[in-house]
Structure 1
């Protein structure tokens, strides 16, 4: 898979950025170090001024790429969901058995992320921690409806629909495939958060992973009705 991904460009809605950060070394450094800095201090404390210090560039140079840190967070979360979609498609495309395909999809969408060497300036493991901890801040805003109309969340919704299609292929009679699909993707983020921070209210651990729970949940729901 890594050889296939090495030839893939992650395409992000061009309304999210002012200048494509993939088009220059500075842009790539902005992305690389924004991930590391947000992971270190959190999105609330993160500023372009602090990022500028980290990359040895003026704060104004970052504003040439993104109009705000909110738009940068939208870019980072969109990049992650697009990368995850590629992982999903490449992992399931050749599978014909519907149960095996759905099981593989759940694994890809809920498992612990490993580093993908195809994108040297982006640490996917760290980026996933940001998605787990911060991605809700990208849409829990007053502007969510207008940003949704602009297509800022289209890749996330497309990912949910891909999983929904696999649920429906496995069990065409199930009434809530979209709700189940979105619950798996959102719930995986939540369970990873609980596993790392609130271990007393989840069975998920380094041994029992969120992917184990969600496979158990989905197939019990679909088989037991």
Structure 2
């Protein structure tokens, strides 16, 4: 935990990429502009050829970093969850009360995102929109089991396990801690999506946030 707090570099499983995009200016531009382009046209319409045109570089130069756009999406989603995990650990590290720690973690996971100036080449607000809209495409594939064995989703799983442990810390007898933790993470994305596109299907609005909903849902479930 201490290492996570002291290391400002967000680490992504190295099997996802061919060359670490954080290691060069071109790599950082690939990440920066892929986020903007996917947000603009959607992941399905996104191609390396279009990205290359945006950054003024050959399509082949992008393939030196990622062998497919799926791997690039895996990189972006992994980076996002590692960034969220970093915030969650940092914000809860010195909280002595278990309830307060869990509620703070839920807040970090479910709140609307603000840009973090620590990473100048990554717009976290825009990346959050991509996660809300495209995150499931990173694992709803035929290759999900083999990619899981390769450790591609280790950060996402680790973050959910941290949240599960906080739930168990409050109520060790609660039988569904892992299911609840993963529901909070995925459900928050879904509620943000509904709030933006299907307002008749959610109670979240300008005054009620997904954070409010998941805090109440969680406490009602585990504290009796």
Q: Is the structural similarity TM-score above 0.5?
A: yes
Moved >3 Å (runs of 4+): 4-7
Looking at structure 2, the residues matched to 223 and 170 of structure 1 have their Cα atoms a distance apart, in angstroms, of 8
| Match status 1:95 vs 2:95 | yes
Which aligned pairs between 1:12-23 and structure 2 lie closer than 5 A? Answer: 12-23=12-23
What are structure 1's unaligned runs of at least 5 residues?
Answer: none
| Match status 1:218 vs 2:218 | yes
Match of 1:150 in 2: 150
| Alignment check: 8 A CA contact 2:5 2:89 kept | no
Match of 1:29 in 2: 29
| Alignment check: 8 A CA contact 1:6 1:119 kept | no
1:17-64 Cα shifts (integer Å, max 9, x gaps): 010000100000000000000000000000000000100001010000
Looking at structure 2, the residues matched to 108 and 52 of structure 1 have their Cα atoms a distance apart, in angstroms, of 34
Query: What is the RMSD of the two structures over their aligned residues, measured on CA atoms?
Result: 1.2
The Cα of 1:222 is off from its aligned counterpart by 1.2
Looking at structure 1, the residues matched to 218 and 12 of structure 2 have their Cα atoms a distance apart, in angstroms, of 30
| Alignment check: 8 A CA contact 1:6 1:118 kept | no
Looking at structure 2, the residues matched to 91 and 5 of structure 1 have their Cα atoms a distance apart, in angstroms, of 10
Aligned length: 221
CA 1:43–1:103: 2 relative to 1, 3 Å? same
Match of 2:119 in 1: 119
Looking at structure 2, the residues matched to 108 and 101 of structure 1 have their Cα atoms a distance apart, in angstroms, of 11
Which aligned pairs between 1:166-205 and structure 2 lie closer than 5 A? Answer: 166-205=166-205
Looking at structure 1, the residues matched to 5 and 134 of structure 2 have their Cα atoms a distance apart, in angstroms, of 26
The Cα of 1:206 is off from its aligned counterpart by 2.3
Match of 2:45 in 1: 45
Looking at structure 1, the residues matched to 7 and 217 of structure 2 have their Cα atoms a distance apart, in angstroms, of 35
What are structure 2's unaligned runs of at least 5 residues?
Answer: none
